[in-house]
Structure 1
């Protein structure tokens, strides 16, 4: 069902945007499949970097999971994210449930999601600043001005403020517990806010080394996904340089964060094709490169994630409490 739904969404989102089918198929069949293989390997490394980052954060909180289990959760939650509306939120909830099975407390699982989200922003900001600076020196029009850099810069500042604020919050003594009244809504809101505070404090308590490591893992995740796009463009012989492709990719990431459609179907594809054609590629080769890239980075992950989810349902992860400094918040 995941495969059928994925193909149906792809066909709907790309309807009317393809060039002549015969020329398009000729470009696909004439692709250099050594480059396609390289693109597959790079996408695997991208997913592995994400899994390593999740495992590293859990280990910092004293919860140890195997790499195979972390990779399976990564595959499954990625499939959830790209196959459902507002998939990122559903994917995060799915991952929290799996980490609870692995022995994490609710506070640690929530803190892991917070740290992962902030590290993702940091990794993208790092890649954006380095890549965007290079693009602006050669093809400034590809970034459509400094606005994307400003957006990522603001996100990076907010990330730093969240970490510093959490560390300061840790220094304050906990106030006396308030009695829970008869109002169920107020009691529920108070519990949610208390859990959020504890998760925030736990995430902010990580050492600088752990934050840097998590951010670098995410930077590798973004970079290898970019190189996957570069490899698919080389596979169809696109005359577009690495700097130009980096500008297109980084610009599309801003669009990608807005969950208009599941997996960004139709939105990301159109933005990539438009960017490649604006950079000098023909509509045929641009569409062929984007389709190969999206098959590798999106549609193939649906059946892979489905298989991983089935394996996770049958497999009970070994709970191996580690020697981490962080205990579950009380």
Structure 2
């Protein structure tokens, strides 16, 4: 009990530290004192557009989910959207963040009719695909920005972080799809040292996922559709950030904003806080200021965007979860009606 309480206290401490770093540091930035005055010039049309873009970004992620789920086992898009929204909100509040929410999402997908063996494939393809697309967008923004805005040490750091992430993803994919025998031998050797891991089960999972990844990679139409939805998800999210910053009077060059957005989201992958809380804000605001955005505008724009992308999905996800449990998932869990009295029921029927 003491250990569990200790972990909870450490999680709460990490969350508090993230809030202090991300939000407290933002308030202390030079020029932050005029942020209140900028609220008087806020553009309500911009704010409405930012919310709609964020909603569209969430919806395109569910379109990505539908594309990745194998045909024949796809729940309705409305159900997938509510599942993704529920897991997003859960990742922002549950200890363990994305890892805990992933387990929660697996359960919801299975309850919605997705085969248990497919849930791991869906998570793998979405995670790897989204990371690759984000880094490609980041590098494209760097290529566009260097000739027009000159070199900057920050560009080198950003490109290096992206390259490390891409290299790790590439090694993992190649290892599973082309060098699976070597990977399996290594994992079996590790599993042999512990009684909690079944080496045969690991081998079955690796071979199954390798086959599915190869099949997915050779299905050109499905692959292009998935990449398109992943790109739309990131670009709509970045566009929402651009609009929220513009709502307070500054139009950041899109390529520069995409660099700041990409850098913040690459760093948010690190499992420090749920949803990159504090990390995203602590990176985005100073980077935008470094790119010429007034400090007050950067603070209000980023925090408004995070209100829409991080905080607002939390209560909405609760409503989405209730609608699932009271609607489609409840109907799937209900036992079939008993046969009327006197009616013969065939075996297995």
Report the TM-score when normalising by structure 1.
Answer: 0.81
Structure 2 residue aligned with 1:261: 273
Q: Distance in 1 between matches of 2:158 and 2:225?
A: 25
Could you say if the C-alpha distance between residues 255 and 142 of structure 1 is closer, same or farther in structure 2, counting changes exceeding 3 Å? Answer: farther
1:222 maps to 2:239: no
User: Offset of 1:165 from its aligned partner?
Assistant: 5.1
Match for residue 118 of structure 2 among 100, 108, 115: 108
User: Offset of 1:197 from its aligned partner?
Assistant: 3.3
SS of 2:328's partner is: coil
1:56 maps to 2:67: yes
User: Offset of 1:23 from its aligned partner?
Assistant: 3.6
1:285 maps to 2:297: yes
Q: Give yes or no for contact 1:142–1:248 (8 Å, CA) kept in 2.
A: no
User: Offset of 1:72 from its aligned partner?
Assistant: 0.3
1:14 maps to 2:26: no
User: Offset of 1:67 from its aligned partner?
Assistant: 0.9
Structure 2 residue aligned with 1:248: 260
Unaligned runs of 5+ residues in structure 1 are: 172-177, 320-330
Q: How many aligned residue pairs are there?
A: 306
Report the TM-score when normalising by structure 2.
Answer: 0.77
Q: Distance in 1 between matches of 2:46 and 2:196?
A: 57
Structure 2 residue aligned with 1:24: 35
Q: Give yes or no for contact 1:114–1:203 (8 Å, CA) kept in 2.
A: no
User: Offset of 1:256 from its aligned partner?
Assistant: 1.3
User: Offset of 1:157 from its aligned partner?
Assistant: 5.1
| Greater length-normalized contact order (CA 8 Å, ≥ 6 residues apart) | 1
User: Offset of 1:14 from its aligned partner?
Assistant: 1.6
User: Offset of 1:110 from its aligned partner?
Assistant: 1.0
Q: Distance in 2 between matches of 1:141 and 1:81?
A: 36
User: Offset of 1:85 from its aligned partner?
Assistant: 4.0
Structure 1 residue aligned with 2:204: 194
Structure 2 residue aligned with 1:328: none
1:273 maps to 2:285: yes
Unaligned runs of 5+ residues in structure 2 are: 1-11, 182-187, 333-349
Match for residue 56 of structure 2 among 31, 34, 45: 45
Match for residue 128 of structure 1 among 138, 145, 152: 138
Match for residue 98 of structure 1 among 108, 128, 136: 108
Could you say if the C-alpha distance between residues 157 and 282 of structure 1 is closer, same or farther in structure 2, counting changes exceeding 3 Å? Answer: closer
Could you say if the C-alpha distance between residues 146 and 212 of structure 1 is closer, same or farther in structure 2, counting changes exceeding 3 Å? Answer: farther
1:295 maps to 2:311: no
Structure 2 residue aligned with 1:212: 224
Q: Give yes or no for contact 1:166–1:204 (8 Å, CA) kept in 2.
A: no
Structure 2 residue aligned with 1:324: none
Question: Once superposed, what is the RMSD of the aligned Cα atoms?
Answer: 3.3
